Amino acid sequence: MKINAFAKVNLGLDIVGKNEKGYHDLKSIFVPITLHDQIIIFPSRHEQFRVYPKFFIHPEKNTILKMIEVCRKHFNFKEQFSITLHKHIPSQAGIGGGSADAAAVFNYLIDFYGWNLSLDEKIEIAKEVGADVPFCVFNHPALVEGIGDRLSFFSFKPNVHIVLVQAKKGVSTAKAFAGLDYPHLIHPTIDNIQEALIQQDYELFIKSLGNSFEDVAIKLVPEIKVIKDKLIELGCDATQMSGSGSVVMGFSQSEEVIDNCVNVLRGQVRFVRKTSLMVEPQDNLLK
Protein backbone atom coordinates (compact mmCIF):
# COMPACT_ATOMS: atom_id res chain seq x y z
CA MET A 1 0.00 0.00 0.00
CA LYS A 2 1.17 3.52 -0.82
CA ILE A 3 0.58 6.11 1.90
CA ASN A 4 1.46 9.79 2.12
CA ALA A 5 3.12 11.32 5.17
CA PHE A 6 2.36 15.05 5.24
CA ALA A 7 4.72 17.63 6.73
CA LYS A 8 3.49 20.37 9.07
CA VAL A 9 4.35 23.98 9.80
CA ASN A 10 4.14 25.99 12.99
CA LEU A 11 2.30 29.25 12.46
CA GLY A 12 3.64 30.85 15.61
CA LEU A 13 5.43 28.95 18.37
CA ASP A 14 5.72 29.98 22.02
CA ILE A 15 7.89 28.11 24.52
CA VAL A 16 5.78 28.63 27.61
CA GLY A 17 8.24 27.08 30.07
CA LYS A 18 9.18 23.77 31.66
CA ASN A 19 6.73 21.52 33.43
CA GLU A 20 7.29 19.60 36.67
CA LYS A 21 8.83 16.67 34.74
CA GLY A 22 11.40 18.90 33.05
CA TYR A 23 9.73 18.83 29.63
CA HIS A 24 9.19 22.03 27.66
CA ASP A 25 5.60 23.20 27.37
CA LEU A 26 4.76 24.88 24.09
CA LYS A 27 1.84 26.64 22.52
CA SER A 28 1.60 26.74 18.76
CA ILE A 29 -0.64 26.55 15.72
CA PHE A 30 0.16 23.39 13.74
CA VAL A 31 -1.13 23.09 10.17
CA PRO A 32 -0.39 20.23 7.74
CA ILE A 33 0.99 21.14 4.34
CA THR A 34 0.92 19.48 0.93
CA LEU A 35 4.65 18.58 1.01
CA HIS A 36 4.89 14.88 1.86
CA ASP A 37 6.99 11.74 1.95
CA GLN A 38 5.61 8.58 0.33
CA ILE A 39 5.74 5.21 2.07
CA ILE A 40 5.15 1.81 0.48
CA ILE A 41 4.33 -0.76 3.16
CA PHE A 42 3.04 -4.33 3.15
CA PRO A 43 3.31 -7.46 5.34
CA SER A 44 6.44 -9.53 4.74
CA ARG A 45 8.18 -12.62 6.08
CA HIS A 46 11.11 -10.47 7.15
CA GLU A 47 11.42 -6.86 8.21
CA GLN A 48 12.82 -4.75 5.39
CA PHE A 49 13.47 -1.02 5.30
CA ARG A 50 14.70 1.00 2.34
CA VAL A 51 14.91 4.74 1.87
CA TYR A 52 15.27 6.82 -1.31
CA PRO A 53 17.23 8.89 -2.07
CA LYS A 54 19.72 6.70 -0.27
CA PHE A 55 21.01 8.16 2.95
CA PHE A 56 21.66 6.55 6.28
CA ILE A 57 19.04 6.82 9.01
CA HIS A 58 20.35 5.71 12.39
CA PRO A 59 18.23 2.75 13.58
CA GLU A 60 17.61 4.42 16.94
CA LYS A 61 16.31 7.53 15.12
CA ASN A 62 14.15 5.66 12.64
CA THR A 63 10.69 6.83 13.64
CA ILE A 64 8.89 4.35 11.39
CA LEU A 65 10.52 1.29 12.96
CA LYS A 66 10.10 2.82 16.40
CA MET A 67 6.37 3.26 15.77
CA ILE A 68 6.01 -0.36 14.70
CA GLU A 69 7.75 -1.55 17.85
CA VAL A 70 5.66 0.72 20.09
CA CYS A 71 2.50 -0.67 18.49
CA ARG A 72 3.85 -4.22 18.77
CA LYS A 73 4.33 -3.66 22.49
CA HIS A 74 0.75 -2.42 22.89
CA PHE A 75 -1.02 -4.93 20.62
CA ASN A 76 1.34 -7.94 20.50
CA PHE A 77 1.11 -8.62 16.76
CA LYS A 78 3.64 -10.91 15.06
CA GLU A 79 3.67 -9.71 11.44
CA GLN A 80 6.77 -8.13 9.93
CA PHE A 81 6.62 -5.42 7.25
CA SER A 82 8.49 -4.43 4.13
CA ILE A 83 8.81 -0.64 4.00
CA THR A 84 10.15 1.67 1.30
CA LEU A 85 10.38 5.35 2.22
CA HIS A 86 10.64 7.98 -0.48
CA LYS A 87 11.88 11.13 1.28
CA HIS A 88 10.83 14.58 0.10
CA ILE A 89 10.62 16.35 3.49
CA PRO A 90 14.07 17.64 4.48
CA SER A 91 15.64 16.61 7.79
CA GLN A 92 16.45 18.97 10.70
CA ALA A 93 13.94 21.37 9.20
CA GLY A 94 11.28 21.88 11.87
CA ILE A 95 8.47 20.63 9.63
CA GLY A 96 7.97 17.18 11.12
CA GLY A 97 9.40 14.78 8.54
CA GLY A 98 10.17 11.94 10.93
CA SER A 99 6.98 12.53 12.90
CA ALA A 100 4.89 12.49 9.73
CA ASP A 101 6.41 9.18 8.65
CA ALA A 102 5.71 7.58 12.03
CA ALA A 103 2.14 8.88 12.10
CA ALA A 104 1.40 7.64 8.59
CA VAL A 105 2.56 4.13 9.51
CA PHE A 106 0.52 4.27 12.73
CA ASN A 107 -2.60 5.08 10.73
CA TYR A 108 -1.79 2.25 8.33
CA LEU A 109 -1.51 -0.22 11.24
CA ILE A 110 -4.79 1.02 12.75
CA ASP A 111 -6.55 0.33 9.44
CA PHE A 112 -4.68 -2.93 8.76
CA TYR A 113 -5.58 -4.47 12.12
CA GLY A 114 -8.92 -2.67 12.61
CA TRP A 115 -7.97 -1.27 16.00
CA ASN A 116 -10.82 0.73 17.51
CA LEU A 117 -8.91 3.55 19.21
CA SER A 118 -10.26 6.74 20.70
CA LEU A 119 -8.65 10.11 19.98
CA ASP A 120 -6.97 10.05 23.41
CA GLU A 121 -5.66 6.51 22.91
CA LYS A 122 -4.11 7.51 19.59
CA ILE A 123 -2.41 10.49 21.23
CA GLU A 124 -1.02 8.41 24.12
CA ILE A 125 0.52 5.85 21.77
CA ALA A 126 1.78 8.41 19.24
CA LYS A 127 3.60 10.55 21.81
CA GLU A 128 5.77 7.57 22.78
CA VAL A 129 7.53 8.09 19.44
CA GLY A 130 7.79 11.88 19.44
CA ALA A 131 6.16 15.13 20.50
CA ASP A 132 4.91 16.07 17.01
CA VAL A 133 3.57 12.61 16.14
CA PRO A 134 0.14 13.04 17.81
CA PHE A 135 -0.66 16.02 15.60
CA CYS A 136 0.57 14.25 12.46
CA VAL A 137 -1.78 11.34 13.16
CA PHE A 138 -4.77 13.63 12.57
CA ASN A 139 -3.44 16.08 9.94
CA HIS A 140 -5.88 18.87 10.71
CA PRO A 141 -5.16 22.45 11.91
CA ALA A 142 -4.90 22.58 15.67
CA LEU A 143 -3.90 24.70 18.62
CA VAL A 144 -1.22 22.46 20.16
CA GLU A 145 -0.18 22.81 23.80
CA GLY A 146 1.74 20.96 26.49
CA ILE A 147 4.44 18.70 25.06
CA GLY A 148 2.43 18.30 21.87
CA ASP A 149 -0.26 16.11 23.40
CA ARG A 150 -3.05 18.67 23.90
CA LEU A 151 -4.76 19.25 20.57
CA SER A 152 -7.66 21.62 19.97
CA PHE A 153 -8.76 21.29 16.33
CA PHE A 154 -10.23 24.18 14.39
CA SER A 155 -10.99 25.08 10.79
CA PHE A 156 -10.25 28.10 8.63
CA LYS A 157 -9.98 29.15 5.01
CA PRO A 158 -6.39 30.03 4.11
CA ASN A 159 -5.71 33.33 2.40
CA VAL A 160 -1.92 33.14 2.25
CA HIS A 161 0.72 31.59 0.00
CA ILE A 162 3.87 30.11 1.54
CA VAL A 163 7.41 29.35 0.42
CA LEU A 164 9.65 27.05 2.45
CA VAL A 165 13.40 27.70 2.43
CA GLN A 166 16.02 25.69 4.29
CA ALA A 167 19.58 26.79 4.95
CA LYS A 168 22.36 24.49 3.82
CA LYS A 169 22.74 23.39 7.43
CA GLY A 170 19.95 22.00 9.62
CA VAL A 171 19.27 22.75 13.29
CA SER A 172 19.58 20.05 15.92
CA THR A 173 16.42 20.08 18.06
CA ALA A 174 18.45 19.07 21.11
CA LYS A 175 20.88 21.98 20.60
CA ALA A 176 18.00 24.38 20.01
CA PHE A 177 16.38 23.45 23.34
CA ALA A 178 19.73 23.52 25.15
CA GLY A 179 20.47 27.03 23.87
CA LEU A 180 17.18 28.67 24.87
CA ASP A 181 17.71 31.97 26.68
CA TYR A 182 14.56 31.95 28.81
CA PRO A 183 14.64 35.54 30.13
CA HIS A 184 14.86 36.90 26.58
CA LEU A 185 12.60 34.56 24.62
CA ILE A 186 10.17 35.89 22.04
CA HIS A 187 6.61 35.06 23.16
CA PRO A 188 4.21 35.47 20.22
CA THR A 189 0.52 35.68 21.05
CA ILE A 190 -0.68 32.38 19.63
CA ASP A 191 -4.34 33.11 20.33
CA ASN A 192 -4.11 36.12 17.99
CA ILE A 193 -2.74 33.92 15.22
CA GLN A 194 -5.59 31.46 15.63
CA GLU A 195 -8.15 34.27 15.63
CA ALA A 196 -6.54 35.83 12.55
CA LEU A 197 -6.74 32.55 10.66
CA ILE A 198 -10.38 31.97 11.59
CA GLN A 199 -11.38 35.55 10.75
CA GLN A 200 -9.19 35.68 7.63
CA ASP A 201 -7.53 38.79 9.07
CA TYR A 202 -4.29 38.76 7.08
CA GLU A 203 -2.88 41.91 8.67
CA LEU A 204 -3.32 40.51 12.19
CA PHE A 205 -1.83 37.18 11.09
CA ILE A 206 1.31 38.81 9.70
CA LYS A 207 1.67 41.06 12.75
CA SER A 208 1.27 38.19 15.24
CA LEU A 209 3.80 35.69 13.84
CA GLY A 210 6.82 34.72 15.91
CA ASN A 211 8.85 31.74 17.13
CA SER A 212 10.59 31.37 20.50
CA PHE A 213 13.31 29.25 18.87
CA GLU A 214 14.40 31.76 16.24
CA ASP A 215 17.14 33.60 18.15
CA VAL A 216 18.94 30.43 19.26
CA ALA A 217 18.52 28.85 15.81
CA ILE A 218 20.10 31.90 14.16
CA LYS A 219 23.05 31.65 16.54
CA LEU A 220 23.49 28.01 15.51
CA VAL A 221 22.88 28.65 11.79
CA PRO A 222 23.37 32.35 10.89
CA GLU A 223 22.20 31.65 7.31
CA ILE A 224 18.64 31.54 8.69
CA LYS A 225 18.75 35.32 9.22
CA VAL A 226 20.18 35.81 5.71
CA ILE A 227 17.26 33.82 4.27
CA LYS A 228 14.70 35.78 6.29
CA ASP A 229 16.14 39.07 5.03
CA LYS A 230 16.26 37.81 1.44
CA LEU A 231 12.60 36.74 1.50
CA ILE A 232 11.55 40.20 2.69
CA GLU A 233 13.70 41.74 -0.04
CA LEU A 234 11.90 39.52 -2.59
CA GLY A 235 8.52 40.85 -1.49
CA CYS A 236 7.25 38.54 1.27
CA ASP A 237 5.14 40.33 3.88
CA ALA A 238 6.62 38.37 6.78
CA THR A 239 8.91 35.46 7.56
CA GLN A 240 9.03 32.97 10.39
CA MET A 241 11.00 29.84 11.13
CA SER A 242 8.98 26.63 11.62
CA GLY A 243 9.51 24.52 14.73
CA SER A 244 13.11 24.43 15.93
CA GLY A 245 14.32 25.14 12.38
CA SER A 246 16.00 25.45 10.03
CA VAL A 247 13.18 25.91 7.49
CA VAL A 248 12.04 29.52 7.10
CA MET A 249 8.57 30.32 5.78
CA GLY A 250 7.90 33.35 3.62
CA PHE A 251 4.29 34.61 3.49
CA SER A 252 2.48 36.57 0.82
CA GLN A 253 -1.02 36.92 -0.60
CA SER A 254 0.59 37.08 -4.03
CA GLU A 255 1.37 33.71 -5.61
CA GLU A 256 3.62 35.56 -8.06
CA VAL A 257 5.83 36.75 -5.18
CA ILE A 258 6.16 33.18 -3.87
CA ASP A 259 6.97 31.78 -7.33
CA ASN A 260 9.66 34.43 -7.74
CA CYS A 261 11.20 33.46 -4.38
CA VAL A 262 11.43 29.86 -5.57
CA ASN A 263 13.01 30.86 -8.88
CA VAL A 264 15.56 33.23 -7.31
CA LEU A 265 16.62 30.94 -4.45
CA ARG A 266 16.72 27.63 -6.32
CA GLY A 267 20.31 26.38 -6.27
CA GLN A 268 21.38 28.85 -3.57
CA VAL A 269 19.92 26.98 -0.59
CA ARG A 270 19.52 23.37 0.54
CA PHE A 271 15.78 23.32 -0.12
CA VAL A 272 13.15 25.67 -1.50
CA ARG A 273 9.53 24.78 -2.24
CA LYS A 274 6.16 26.45 -2.64
CA THR A 275 3.56 24.75 -0.49
CA SER A 276 -0.09 25.03 0.53
CA LEU A 277 -1.84 24.67 3.85
CA MET A 278 -4.10 21.61 4.16
CA VAL A 279 -7.29 22.53 5.96
CA GLU A 280 -9.87 19.99 4.77
CA PRO A 281 -11.18 17.72 7.57
CA GLN A 282 -9.38 14.38 7.64
CA ASP A 283 -11.33 11.12 7.73
CA ASN A 284 -9.47 9.87 10.79
CA LEU A 285 -9.92 13.02 12.90
CA LEU A 286 -12.65 11.78 15.21
CA LYS A 287 -12.34 8.02 14.78
Q: How far is CA 127 from CA 64, 143, 164, in A?
A: 13, 16, 26
Question: Catalytic: 2?
Answer: no
Question: Catalytic: 132?
Answer: yes
Write down how long the chain is.
Answer: 287
Q: Which amino acid is at 87?
A: K
Q: Which of 111, 108, 99, 97 is nearest to 136 (CA)?
A: 99
Burial (Cβ within 10 Å: 0-12, 13-18, ≥19) of residue 182: exposed
Active-site residue (options: 14, 37, 101, 132): 132
- Determine the straight-line distance between the first and last CA of the chain, rounded to whole angstroms: 21
Active-site residue (options: 8, 27, 66, 127): 8
> Active-site residue numbers?
8, 132
